[in-house]
Amino acid sequence: MMTAKEIRDSFKSFFESKEHLIVPSAPMVVKDDPTLMFTNAGMNQFKDIILGNRAPKSRRVADSQKCLRVSGKHNDLEEVGHDTYHHTMFEMLGNWSFGDYFKKEAISWAWEYLVDVLKLDPKNLYATVFEGSPEEGLERDNEAAAIWEQFLPKDHILNGNKHDNFWEMGDTGPCGPCSEIHMDSRSDEEKAKVPGRELVNKDHPQVIEIWNLVFMQFNRKADHSLEPLPAKVIDTGMGFERLVRTLQGKQSNYDTDVFQPIIKQIGALTGKQYGQDEKVDIAMRVVADHIRTIAFSITDGQLPSNAKAGYVIRRILRRAVRYAYTFLGQKEAFLYKLLPVLIDNMGDAYPELNAQKTLIEKVIIEEEESFLRTLDTGIKLLDKVMADAKSAGTTVISGVNAFTLYDTYGFPLDLTELILRENGMTVNIDEFNAEMAKQKARARNAAAVENGDWVVLKEGETEFVGYDFTEYETSILRYREVKQKSGVIYQIVLDKTPFYAEMGGQVGDQGVIVSEFETIDIIDTKKENGLPIHITKKLPQHPEAPMMACVDTDKRHACEANHTATHLLDEALREVLGTHVEQKGSLVSPEGLRFDFSHFQKVTDEELRQVERLVNEKIRQDLPLQEHRDLPIEEAKKLGAIALFGEKYGDKVRVVQFGQSIEFCGGVHAASTGHIGLFKILSESSIAAGVRRIEAVTGQAVEEMIYGLQDTITALKNILPGSSIETAVKKAIDENAALKKQIEEFMKEKTAQLKDKLIEQARNINGVMVISALIPAPAAVVKDLVFGIRAEKPAGTLVIIGSEENGKPMLTVSVSDDLTSRFNAGQMVREAAKLIQGGGGGQPHYATAGGKNPEGLHAAVESLIKAIEN
């Protein structure tokens, strides 16, 4: 039996033998594409090639790509665990032709690999082809069908509709028919009863799609019409885990050597057995699947958080916690305990798992614990909702409540329903669905963008000249209109550009493009699918005119200084804190810099100073920028350059060096460190378990900061008399303390006087000496007063005080010990507190209550006196 690793290798060597270049998997977390959070198919990393923005290194490429299908167009999350063949993270094996071979080779090689190399039995294989679409004027993909007929009997070739068999990149762009290969792995008896062809694309767990071959031959325009694609593309994707399961003769992906070690460990840790109870099995599959996703996202640089991609990861983690909590009896953090077996299993192929072990563990534990607390709160909330429903005489809880539990506390409907069922209750599903639909509509509207077609003036690729120039002669290659929620903007692609497009944490350049007719403001520069895009609010009147592209140099130079300072900061942190420091995020703008890094405790003030001193020393040394452009990646590594995990690098990289600081970096930098001027840290904080954030400023921003400090000090000096601020403040504090003491003594005296006066005014009601008053005194004074009276009149006395401090009313009742059988201070206060909109209590001899409504104090005291009279 082939192992998973052997299967992966065999795929690569097969396509290598067909002259494909084998490339590495791109990172799973997508950082520079606004339309995509995670890689969800092998083709993502080639989008720019397919769109013609970049020339391919080779026309034939193959790889194994880590994919994540948990958001957007491909979201399998709810299936995962419930079935045995959808995962959140999975590997997609794929081969590509960029304008090289087409359907004939793609189909024959797929067949050759599956049947000749892997020895799959052809009688279990089915292929689908596009049936055509009259309204689009497209006929059946007879070309593909004819090729399949060389290998498969006609009744194993099935027609598929537009939904399953016509692939589109998006609303616009490349598209075309596709052809899927399905595998029937049922027993012979079952096959005899129902032929496999009837189960293809019917969600049968043993008749599943394993490989999809996409034939991109059209381009979809904004008006929805199709035009032929000049360079046709083959894009195939095969689910690795599904292939392994087929070859290892298993009925479920989770029974293969990819997942078994994790499943076994879950069993060992929870004492549950896989394969005995469907609910437990689902939970074990969910946990086994999700732990991979979570660990890999963290190494890829995407930590769980409360927004965007980070939130998606957080929700996956919470889903795993919930299943473990409900079905595996795990009431405490547990997922992190699976890391060792995951690393054992996958650490060889993915060394970053081992390298970042501590960080992954810390992040997971903290997330688990904080969610378990939320879960607890949610369960209490649900208890209350159920109690309210019961007292309202119904057994159906509102769907709005169920949605709040889902949205805020991460309770999916099935968990809520489960708890309700245990209590003989149900939920209004229609209401829940309506809330869900509302939320989806809100999300859709917020994200809606409409791209117009490109208006192409000249073919060509943009050349970036911004490392050497901030002004350059250029012309427009193409432009288009983009309608967003916030208004209409235009995207312009230039022939040559000095504008840096936002990337690697550095914000895009701003500036102007100028022709003899007009000046256009560029408000931002970004990259979309590898294409540098200049964003403007105004379209040029004469787009074909020669132009000058001019970057706003003040902003650019400030950016450069901040970027260079970031490299020096990184180096200094490693020196002061240790080499475990690894960049986890970075933002470089003209205003300042932000640097996130792994470190497991607070950075002390002393360490921060040391870091600042080191950076400023490097600034004074005025180290020149040593730039290595187009360095082969192997040589860059030999130089000892620091690379980032989860970043996509080509064969040739740019390396930026200032003295000992050497980093892979595409950003723009100061010509020498002296240009930074001065470096100052503004803050250090924690942003997640094991991740710290430093915010800092340089150059002129430090100057401004110093002026700000100076102004504050001058202002203080003007207020405080004396030569030194320190002495003056100390004196003020001492005086304050002395005054406070005086006031306390004064209060004591007053309290004693008040006590005597109140005793004098005591009334006899029903044989009880009642002392009552309304006074504007703090709680501590009232307490002293009441206890003073108790000491002096230990028997036959009842004291009632209404007091007020800073607008907050308070009631105090004291009953002398001999009267507690007749009067209970606690009960009296509780009853009367309603009049001040408050509550409280205490003991039978002494009780207090606070409230919100001081207006009610008088009535409250009166009501207490009444109570004694009766």
Contact 718, 617 (CB under 8 A): no
For ligand ATP, the closer of residues 245 and 534 by Cβ is: 245
For ligand ATP, the closer of residues 86 and 337 by Cβ is: 86
Contact status: 241 vs ligand ATP (CB under 6 A): yes
Instruction: Output the CA torsion sign for 270, 274, 280, 281.
Output: positive
CB of 236 to ligand ATP, least distance (A): 8
CB of 612 to ligand ATP, least distance (A): 48
For ligand ATP, the closer of residues 86 and 272 by Cβ is: 86
- Residue 281: partners with Cβ closer than 8 Å, 6 or more residues away: 274, 275
Contact status: 210 vs ligand ATP (CB under 6 A): yes
CB of 337 to ligand ATP, least distance (A): 25
For ligand ATP, the closer of residues 76 and 695 by Cβ is: 76
Residue ranges in 54-161 assigned as alpha helix (H): 103-111, 142-149
For ligand ATP, the closer of residues 173 and 699 by Cβ is: 173
Which two tokens mark 720? 């405080």
Give the pairing of strands 626-632 and 531-536: unpaired
Contact 487, 449 (CB under 8 A): no
CB of 260 to ligand ATP, least distance (A): 17
Contact status: 577 vs ligand ATP (CB under 6 A): no
CB of 43 to ligand ATP, least distance (A): 10
DSSP string, 422-446: HTT-EE-HHHHHHHHHHHHHHHHHH
Contact status: 474 vs ligand ATP (CB under 6 A): no
For ligand ATP, the closer of residues 211 and 406 by Cβ is: 211
Q: Which listed residue (165, 212, 401, 564) binds ligand ATP by CB under 6 A?
A: 212
Q: Which listed residue (239, 788, 840, 856) binds ligand ATP by CB under 6 A?
A: 239
Contact status: 158 vs ligand ATP (CB under 6 A): no
Phi-psi domain of 211 (left: phi exceeds 0; alpha: psi -120 through 50; beta: other): beta
Q: Name the CA radius of gyration of the chain, rounded.
A: 36
411-450 positions binding ligand ATP, by CB under 6 A:
none
Q: Which listed residue (20, 69, 272, 567) binds ligand ATP by CB under 6 A?
A: 69
3-state helix vs strand vs coil in the chain, percent to 5: 45, 25, 30
Contact 357, 304 (CB under 8 A): no
For ligand ATP, the closer of residues 78 and 463 by Cβ is: 78
Q: What is the rounded CA–CA span in Å between residue 102 and residue 586?
A: 42
Contact 774, 800 (CB under 8 A): no
CB of 124 to ligand ATP, least distance (A): 15
Size of the site for ligand ATP (CB under 6 A): 15
Q: What is the rounded CA–CA span in Å between residue 105 and residue 97?
A: 10
For ligand ATP, the closer of residues 65 and 497 by Cβ is: 65
Region of 235-243, 266-274, 418-426, 721-729 interacting with ligand ATP (CB under 6 A): 235-243
One character per residue 70-99, x = contact with ligand ATP (rule: CB under 6 A): ------x---------xx--x-x-------
Contact status: 211 vs ligand ATP (CB under 6 A): yes
Q: Which listed residue (20, 242, 654, 669) binds ligand ATP by CB under 6 A?
A: 242
- Residue 61: partners with Cβ closer than 8 Å, 6 or more residues away: 20, 21, 22, 23, 46, 95, 96, 98
Q: What is the rounded CA–CA span in Å between residue 288 and residue 262?
A: 6
* Amino acid code (one letter) for 523: I
Q: Tell me the residue number closest to ligand ATP, measured at CB.
A: 239
CB of 298 to ligand ATP, least distance (A): 20
For ligand ATP, the closer of residues 284 and 825 by Cβ is: 284
Torsion of CA 85, 86, 87, 91, to 10 degrees: 80
Which two tokens mark 326? 């409900």
Q: What is the rounded CA–CA span in Å between residue 383 and residue 415?
A: 13
Contact 654, 665 (CB under 8 A): yes
Q: If residue 415 lies in a helix (H) or strand (E), which one and from where to where? A: helix 413-422
Please, is 393 exposed, middle or buried when counting C-beta atoms within 10 Å of its C-beta (0-12, 13-18, 19+)? exposed
Residue ranges in 551-668 assigned as alpha helix (H): 553-577, 605-620, 633-638
Contact status: 184 vs ligand ATP (CB under 6 A): no
For ligand ATP, the closer of residues 127 and 375 by Cβ is: 127
Region of 239-247, 603-611, 682-690, 746-754 interacting with ligand ATP (CB under 6 A): 239-247
Contact status: 293 vs ligand ATP (CB under 6 A): no
Contact status: 319 vs ligand ATP (CB under 6 A): no
For ligand ATP, the closer of residues 25 and 374 by Cβ is: 25
Q: What is the rounded CA–CA span in Å between residue 653 and residue 635?
A: 9
Q: What is the rounded CA–CA span in Å between residue 865 and residue 770?
A: 8
CB of 505 to ligand ATP, least distance (A): 31
Region of 208-216, 533-541, 803-811, 852-860 interacting with ligand ATP (CB under 6 A): 208-216
Q: Which of 85, 83, 81, 88 is nearest to 263 (CA)?
A: 81
Q: Which listed residue (209, 361, 596, 784) binds ligand ATP by CB under 6 A?
A: 209
For ligand ATP, the closer of residues 113 and 432 by Cβ is: 113
What end-to-end distance do the CA atoms of the chain give, in Å? Answer: 93
Contact status: 8 vs ligand ATP (CB under 6 A): no
Which two tokens mark 284? 């074990």
For ligand ATP, the closer of residues 90 and 218 by Cβ is: 90
Region of 110-118, 205-213, 642-650, 689-697 interacting with ligand ATP (CB under 6 A): 205-213
CB of 658 to ligand ATP, least distance (A): 45
Q: Which listed residue (81, 177, 237, 592) binds ligand ATP by CB under 6 A?
A: 237
- Residue 17: partners with Cβ closer than 8 Å, 6 or more residues away: none
Residue 233, SS3 per DSSP: strand
For ligand ATP, the closer of residues 240 and 595 by Cβ is: 240
Q: If residue 516 lies in a helix (H) or strand (E), which one and from where to where? A: none
For ligand ATP, the closer of residues 242 and 362 by Cβ is: 242
Q: If residue 571 lies in a helix (H) or strand (E), which one and from where to where? A: helix 553-577
Contact status: 136 vs ligand ATP (CB under 6 A): no
CB of 211 to ligand ATP, least distance (A): 5
CB of 184 to ligand ATP, least distance (A): 14
For ligand ATP, the closer of residues 211 and 334 by Cβ is: 211
CB of 127 to ligand ATP, least distance (A): 12
Phi-psi domain of 796 (left: phi exceeds 0; alpha: psi -120 through 50; beta: other): left
Counting every residue written for the chain, the total comes to: 870
Phi-psi domain of 677 (left: phi exceeds 0; alpha: psi -120 through 50; beta: other): left
CB of 145 to ligand ATP, least distance (A): 19
Q: What is the rounded CA–CA span in Å between residue 434 and residue 457?
A: 48
Q: What is the rounded CA–CA span in Å between residue 395 and residue 388?
A: 10
Q: What is the rounded CA–CA span in Å between residue 595 and residue 607?
A: 16
Contact status: 238 vs ligand ATP (CB under 6 A): yes
CB of 611 to ligand ATP, least distance (A): 44
* Amino acid code (one letter) for 239: G
Interface with ligand ATP (CB under 6 A):
69, 76, 86-87, 90, 92, 209-212, 237-239, 241-242
